[in-house]
Amino acid sequence: MAAIKIKNGKLITPYRIVEEGEILINDGLIVEIGGRTGPADTEIDAGGKYVSPGFIDIHTHGAGGFDFLDDEPDVFGRISRKHSEFGTTTLFPALTSSRMDVLRNAIIKYEADVHGDTGGARMPGLHLEGPYFAMEQRGAQDARYVRPPRKDEYMEILGLSGRISRWSLAPELPGAHEFALELQKRNIMPAIGHSNATYAQVLEAYERGFELITHLYSGCSIMRRIDAYRVAGVVESAFLIEGMNVEVIADGHHLPASLLKLILQNKGVSRIALVTDSIRAAGDTGMETIVGDRETGIKAIIEDGVAKLPDRSAFAGSVATADRLIRTMTSMGGASLENAVEMLTATPARIMGIYDRTGSLSPGKYADIVIFNENIEVGMTMVGGRIVFKKNN
């Protein structure tokens, strides 16, 4: 491939912002970064805008009117291309609790369709969110499918793909520890999600390899009384266990400014992964939508910039895109731009074990790059040195 240079940008590195910086790209990889780099066949002028590592969303269900569970042609590619318009260069498709045949079909479709270039964001592995959850913490998860782990069922699912990266479940359920052991044998991350666990149960789960909490505060138990005694829940456990990583849905609705600041102050940027938890309505303009696949999913409404169940009893995922996460954490969460970017690049890359390949503007890594202005409006997204989105000026 011809060498490409991005010049005249404010480079957001793991350590600082380099004014009027340059990046040299060859064969899809970053080969040089700094104030001045070597010659190139093609030059891209960033026009003084920010040049950042591509955003990494480790929890998204869809965008642009599509859900990863939809039985439609090129559904994974369509969603990946839509998210790339907002700076996402890597995402982990999340499959929500659903009917077994629907889940099976989505995994088979991922295995068949997602190899190499999708024309949008990379999709290196699947995230199964459910159905092994606590009914009390199900949120918008469809109650028809929420249940404890079933060995025959999860073994069948695990046999469908060798590219499942993570499985969110409630660790307090009967059979959860045996299930988690099976996941770890296959190098699949078990994560705590939609859980009613106590601190003692979370601590035991952490010792067994549960090192990530799915969307902190959402679907998470808090302090409650058991036999008159106060007992800490999943939320308090996240703060008590120093090594626990957490997801944060920073869409400006799921968590108020006070809780965003609390999480940032207590966990720090190296333990927080910003996620969209977006449903099909992300990047769309409709006022009604479906959570899950079109045939068996549940209805939701879009109101005040967030998805809700029709009775307004709970949020139903978000309609956020990655750019909004940065804006929210800088405007509401008290984070600097550099820290907000780190929580959407380096930190999720480390959590998912891909930091050796992406997550920072470093020589030897993929040229996954996003250019955006002071309002975090994305002007260009590059995946592996190839422009997958460019805004028309």
Sign, CA torsion 74/79/82/85: negative
Mean pLDDT of all residues in 32-51: 94
Whole-angstrom Cα distance, residue 277 to residue 306? Answer: 11
Mean pLDDT of all residues in 34-56: 95
Q: Token digits for 231?
A: 């007992």
Mean pLDDT of all residues in 58-72: 95
Is the pLDDT score of 393 beyond 70? no
DSSP code per residue over 266-326: HH-GGGEEEE--B-TTTT---SEEEES-TTT-EEEEEETTEEE-TTSSSB-SB---HHHHH
pLDDT digits (tens, 9 = 90+) for 200-229: 999 999 999 999 999 999 999 999 999 999
Whole-angstrom Cα distance, residue 264 to residue 249? Answer: 13
pLDDT of residue 297: 86
Read off the DSSP letter of residue 220. Answer: B
Q: Write a three-state SS string for 102-137.
A: HHHHHHHHHHHHCCCCCCCCECCCEEEECCCCCHHH
Beta strands (DSSP E) in 120-265 are: 126-129, 164-169, 189-192, 212-213, 224-226, 229-231, 245-249
Q: Report which secondary-structure segment, H or E, holds 349.
A: helix 346-351
- Ranges of each domain in the chain: 4-52+362-390, 54-351
Whole-angstrom Cα distance, residue 317 to residue 16? Answer: 33
pLDDT of residue 305: 87
Residue closest to 54 by CA, chosen among 326, 245, 305? 326
Mean pLDDT of all residues in 266-271: 98
Mean pLDDT of all residues in 258-268: 98
Q: Where are the alpha helices (DSSP H) in 216-256?
A: 234-240
The CATH class of the 4-52+362-390 domain is mainly beta
Query: Is 3.20.20.140 the CATH classification of the domain at 54-351?
Result: yes
pLDDT digits (tens, 9 = 90+) for 94-117: 999 999 999 999 999 999 988 877
CB 291 within 8 A of CB 316: yes
CB 186 within 8 A of CB 161: no
Mean pLDDT of all residues in 281-309: 86
Question: Kind of pairing, strands 4-12 and 17-26?
Answer: antiparallel
Is residue 276 very low, low, confident or very high in pLDDT (cuts 50, 70, 90)?
Answer: very high
pLDDT digits (tens, 9 = 90+) for 241-253: 999 999 999 999 9
What is the residue type of 214?
T
DSSP code per residue over 7-46: EEEEEE-SS-EEEEEEEEEETTEEEEEESS----SEEEE-
pLDDT of residue 115: 80
Whole-angstrom Cα distance, residue 220 to residue 356? Answer: 31
pLDDT digits (tens, 9 = 90+) for 335-344: 999 999 999 9
Sign, CA torsion 287/290/291/292: negative
Lowest mean pLDDT among 13-22, 110-119, 192-201, 255-264: 110-119
Mean pLDDT of all residues in 163-190: 97
Is residue 293 very low, low, confident or very high in pLDDT (cuts 50, 70, 90)?
Answer: confident
